[in-house]
Amino acid sequence: MSPSPKTPSRTSVALKNIAILAQSLPQRLHTLRITSESHGRKLSYAYGERHRQIFPAGFDSTSSSSNSAAQRSYYSFSPQRLYDDLTASYTPEHHVEDIIVKSASYCKKNTTPNHEFIILEVEDRRSPGLKNFMVLDRNISESPSRSPRIYSSAQSSQSYAAKDEFRVSYDGDRRRLLAQCDLQDHKALETLVFKSEEPLLLYQLATLTRAVSFQRDKYHIITANCYWFSGLIWDCILRMRPSAYYKVAQGHIRGALVSWLRQSTNSAELEVTYEYVDRELLEIDKKFT
């Protein structure tokens, strides 16, 4: 009787498996590279269809990976210009009906004079994962000769050219945007997160902001400052989207100019603004359909 074959040792089996893996590895790597490149092309194509004023060149892979991207500043839009870009210059390929405000934060700068502003997170629903950040606020276009922290009777009657603007991040970096705006040292007083089934569209917010900006187009130290501007916009948003998740930070009140003075939204002005914007949005929606 011939001897039975020897059972292969674990070492020889392992060596054989390694040899097979080594032979197939180049093909696996080639397949992985093709898959990765294909995914990259799809992502680049999807981002290429984006609205480039809202998602600027910093979102291109070639731009965002370069050192120069870190040096590029935000894009600035007046309420009128953003409104025009999203509505008057409407083209279907920009699909502005899918650019939504995902969340908003009402913020106050920690240093005097405690500037108040709104941070917006925007997203393109047609390109999952494509989101950006904006700062919305009112400033003085030209600095007054005297400090706004001194409220003399003469100064309280003065008005200045207002600078209302959306500042759009170049590459989607929230921290960099806030640093460029000198707003990184702040606290969030209130937060809104909008439901996907009842979103706030960016063109709707641009329409609202344009209306508020036109109401008092001059910056007044008491009656038409950043507190009034951000506060009226915020209260209109709350009324437009009552279903949104709403959080208020404990112990903080928006509109507090100084310890003895608080800017609050006038209810009649809120009503007039809301009704005007509602009518204008109906006309815009007719144009889009």
pLDDT digits (tens, 9 = 90+) for 158-207: 789 999 999 999 999 999 999 999 999 999 999 999 999 999 999 999 99
List of residues 6+ apart from 116 with CB closer than 8 A: 106, 107, 108, 109, 137, 189, 226, 227, 230, 231, 254, 255
| pLDDT of 234 strictly over 70 | yes
pLDDT digits (tens, 9 = 90+) for 14-67: 445 545 544 554 444 343 333 333 333 333 334 557 788 898 888 875 554 555
Q: Find out whether 74 and 181 touch, Cβ atoms under 8 Å.
A: yes
Whether the link from the prior residue into 26 is cis, omega within 30° of 0, is: no
| 17-31, 69-83, 174-188, 217-231: least confidently modelled range | 17-31
| Distances from the Cα of 41 to the Cα of 44, 47, 48, 66, 232, angstroms | 5, 10, 10, 19, 43
The answer, yes or no, to whether residue 143 has pLDDT greater than 50, is yes
Q: Please, which pLDDT band fits residue 104 given cuts at 50, 70 and 90?
A: very high
Tell me the C-alpha to C-alpha distance, in Å, between residue 112 and each of 97, 116, 165, 185, 244: 39, 11, 21, 11, 31
User: Cα–Cα distance between 86 and 264 in angstroms, integer?
Assistant: 30
Residue 40: the pLDDT is 35
6 DSSP 8-state letter = P
- pTM for this predicted structure: 0.78
In the block, residue with structure tokens 């093709």:
34
Tallying the residues shown for the chain, one arrives at: 289
